[in-house]
Structure 1
Amino acid sequence: MSLLSSLPAANSYRTTGEGTLPSAFAVSELATASFAAVGQELARYMAAANLSPTAPEVTVDHRLASLWYHYSFKPDGWEMPSLWDAIAGDYRASDGWIRLHTNLPHHRAAALKVLGTQADREAVSQALRSWAIADLESAVVAEGGVAAAMRSRAEWLDHPQGRAVSRDPLISWQNPRRITLRDRPAATAERPLAGLRVLDLTRVLAGPVSTRTLAGFGADVLRIDPPGWDEPGVIPDISLGKRCAYLDLKSTEGLTHLQDLLSQADVFIHGYRPDALEALGLSKAKRDELAPNRVEVTLDAYGWQGPWATRRGFDSLVQMSAGIAHAGMEWANAEKPTPLPVQALDHATGYLMAAAVLSALAEAASGNSIMHAHLSLARTAELLAILGKTDTGQDAITANQSDYSEKTEQSGWGLGHRLKSALTIGQTVMRWDLPAPQLGTSEPTWP
Structure 2
Amino acid sequence: MTDQARLTTREAADRLGVKPETVYAYVSRGQLSSERAPGGRGSTFDAEEIEALARRGGRREPATGAGAEPGFRTGITFIDRDRYYYRGVDAVELSRTYGYEEVVEWLWTGELRPGVRFTAPRESLDAARLAVGALPAHASAMDRLRVAAIAASAADPLRFDLSPEAVLGCGRALIPTLVRALPKAGGSERPDRPGDRSLAAQLWPRLTSRTADTASINLLNTALALLIDHDLAASTLAARVAASARAHPYAVVSAGLGVLEGPLHGAASGLAHRMLAEVLERGGAAPVVADHLRSGRRVPGLGHRLYPAEDPRAQALLALLEELPYAAGALDAARDVVATTARHTALHANVDLALAVLTVAADMPAEAGETVFAVARTAGWLAHALEEYEERPLRMRPSGHYTGPKPPQPLP
* Same structural fold, with TM-score higher than 0.5 when normalized by the shorter chain: no
Q: Hey, which of these two has a bigger chunk of strand by percent?
A: 1
Please give the TM-score of this superposition, normalised by the length of structure 2.
0.22
Greater relative contact order (Cα < 8 A, sep 6+): 1
